[in-house]
Amino acid sequence: MTRADILVVDDTPQNLRLLSNILTKEGYLVRQALSGKMAMTAIQAVPPDLILLDIMMPEMDGYSFCQTLKAKAETAAIPVIFLSALTDGSDKAKAFAVGGADYISKPFQLEEVLARVRNQLALVAAETQNQQLSAHLEDRVKERTRQLEIANRELYREILERKMLQSQLLEQATHDALTGLPNRAFFIDRTRQALSAMQADANAQFAVLFLDCDRFKVVNDSLGHFIGDQLLVAIACRLKETLHPTVTLARLGGDEFTVLLTETADSTSVIQTANQMLAAFTQPFQLEGRAVFITASIGVAIGNVKYSQPEHLLRDADMAMYSAKASGKERYQVFDPILHQNALKRLQLEIDLRKALYQQELIVHYQPIMAIPTGDLVGFEALVRWLHPQQGLVSPGVFIPIAEETGLIAQIGHWVLRQSCQQMRQWQDETTDRSLTMSVNLSARQLAQADLVEQIDQILAETQLDPQYLKLELTESAIMDNAQAAESVLQALRKRQIQLSIDDFGTGYSSLSYLHSFPVNTLKIDRSFIQQMGEHSDDLGLVPLIINIAHKMGMTVTAEGIETQNQLNHLRALNCDFGQGFFFFKPLEADKISPLLTSIAHHAESDVKTAQ
């Protein structure tokens, strides 16, 4: 502990010495001043801890000295003990009034002086400690406040972060990452709201429009998924620009977009919206410097109180969209409850079809194919039939598309192929004419199978049918859908002497010259062209042209669906090679064919004679 520094101010040197001795002995550091002026200089040099101050001094007395001291901030706190010979009480009062801390009367009592000095120093020490403590406390409070502020800021940041994360999660849960549009969940929620609004207010209207791009797969397959994605984003943008801002536009997934109309959903506005959406596709989309053309089909479901769930509106709009596609694409279709009935029926058929294969409900009928110039039987077309236990004979036109969609066509097609190859082999054994061919329809899905050629090899090996008597029929679209794979598969089949026909020619979009790049032997002109031929030879439509070009390209031509003598006459005049149709034979059960095998030549010959 440092020694307390005491300044004694007295004009009497004797007093100074006396006090100095007493205090120094006690261990204090003592400085002396004979006048107020000297004292001031000493204080300015080093402020003491305590001042013992004489009252009666020439020039400046103790009172004014003390007043000066107390008036200055730097010295105001230094305690002053007055020293006076005066015993008058008013003196003491004045001493305290000018800021004195204590008072000692002369002559000095040693003990008293020490006691009062100690007292004052203790007070100063206590005060100093007090100040230190409160300063420390203040610092701690400041520090704590600072920490709290930091913690607060941290908390605030965290809350903000959480809020952001939350809204991000919400955004992710309700929006589509690619286009930024609302997603299915969001759309269903909005539709649910529209539905309850309608239940609350009978005048409320709303409609769901379901848009699906036509042949989007072709874009993805030919230009790649990257461009495909870009196209979806561009479509989203265009639809958004087209639609009124109050309309909810969502992306359900894939190339499917939905729109919820609530503000004005009367039939005129709904149709107007559907048309606007279709019109958004008329201009090509510019992607990576190329123009991509695409169209879309739209299904519309109009809200009504009978709907209990938003998903049902989507289902119906979806169904209407499919119907729009089926009737030619690039159009809209409003949902009709009949569609729903049909869908249910179709679903049942799909279930039944799965069983049909194992329960042997499928059979193959064979339609004879004739050489037109001679009327000779040249072969058969195998046409599958389904003997449904409840519905009777179901046409392949009905169940083949279902089988295609469900993938069941692979097994059905395989079965038909084996069945008809085996049958052909058997008939060849029964007749002397070994040149009869068996035409079998091959679906697009089958053509896409990687092991198709192996399957066919295996069937031919098992049934012992010479490949040159097998003729596979493919539609234009089956080839176009698999253009890349088709090329090599068809080459492989041709290498085995298997013949190839284009079925239903004229109903697809392909050009003859393009098809010619595939190794095809025969062109089958679709029935619709044959049936459109009029009475006169200047009214034959496209048939003469098709036959002509096909021949120039080295293909033979088969006319499908010949029903009249007149049609046959025209076709014969046009040098059409082969024909099939009800005019000759309907597709027949296998056991009806055997008896014909020998008599057919005769039948056809007499037919040729009648025609001439």
Q: By the criterion CB under 6 A, which residues form the site for ligand C2E?
A: 367, 383-384, 395-397, 400, 413, 416, 441, 443, 473, 503-504, 527, 560-563, 580-582, 587
Cα–Cα distance measured from residue 65 to residue 515, given in angstroms and rounded to the nearest whole number: 124
Compare residues 404 and 504 and give the one whose CB is closer to Mg ion: 504
10, 256, 504, 577: which one binds Mg ion (CB under 5 A): 504
Burial of 327 (0-12, 13-18, 19+ CB in 10 A): exposed
What separation in angstroms does the CA of 337 have from each of 311, 320, 399, 551? 15, 10, 22, 49
Query: Of Mg ion, ligand C2E, none, which one sits near residue 443, judging by CB under 5 to 8 A according to partner kind?
Result: ligand C2E
| Whether 558 contacts 578, CB under 8 Å | yes
Query: Of ligand C2E, Mg ion, none, which one sits near residue 582, judging by CB under 5 to 8 A according to partner kind?
Result: ligand C2E
Compare residues 310 and 506 and give the one whose CB is closer to Mg ion: 506
Q: Is 423 in the site for Mg ion (CB under 5 A)?
A: no
- Give the residue among 205, 227, 208 at the shortest CA–CA distance from 216: 227
Query: Of ligand C2E, Mg ion, none, which one sits near residue 506, judging by CB under 5 to 8 A according to partner kind?
Result: none
Q: Is 446 in the site for Mg ion (CB under 5 A)?
A: no
Phi-psi label, residue 67: left if phi above 0, alpha if psi -120 to 50, beta otherwise: alpha
| Whether 250 contacts 300, CB under 8 Å | no
CB of 381 to ligand C2E, least distance (A): 6
Compare residues 27 and 397 and give the one whose CB is closer to ligand C2E: 397
Dihedral sign of CA atoms 585, 587, 589, 591 in order: positive
Query: Of Mg ion, ligand C2E, none, which one sits near residue 476, judging by CB under 5 to 8 A according to partner kind?
Result: none
Find the part of the chain contacting Mg ion (CB under 5 A) among 175-183, 435-443, 487-495, 601-609.
435-443
- Give the residue among 244, 422, 274, 259 at the shortest CA–CA distance from 334: 274
> E strands of 85-206, at which residues?
102-105
CB of 526 to ligand C2E, least distance (A): 7
- For residue 276, the SS3 value is helix
CB of 347 to ligand C2E, least distance (A): 21
CB of 542 to ligand C2E, least distance (A): 17
- Beta-ladder partners of 161: none
CB of 532 to Mg ion, least distance (A): 15
258, 419, 437, 441: which one binds Mg ion (CB under 5 A): 441
Angle at 15 between CA 13 and CA 20, to 5 degrees: 95
Cα–Cα distance measured from residue 379 to residue 423, given in angstroms and rounded to the nearest whole number: 12
- Give the residue among 247, 236, 330 at the shortest CA–CA distance from 285: 236
CB of 477 to ligand C2E, least distance (A): 11
Backbone angles phi, psi at 250, to 5 degrees: -130, 160
Extract the tokens encoding 160: 């903000």
Query: Of ligand C2E, Mg ion, none, which one sits near residue 289, judging by CB under 5 to 8 A according to partner kind?
Result: none
Contact string 469-498 vs Mg ion (x = CB under 5 A): ----x-------------------------
Extract the tokens encoding 330: 């690039």
CB of 333 to ligand C2E, least distance (A): 25
Q: Is 212 in the site for Mg ion (CB under 5 A)?
A: no
CB of 447 to Mg ion, least distance (A): 14
Compare residues 352 and 473 and give the one whose CB is closer to Mg ion: 473
Q: Site residues (CB under 5 A) for Mg ion? A: 441, 473, 503-504, 560
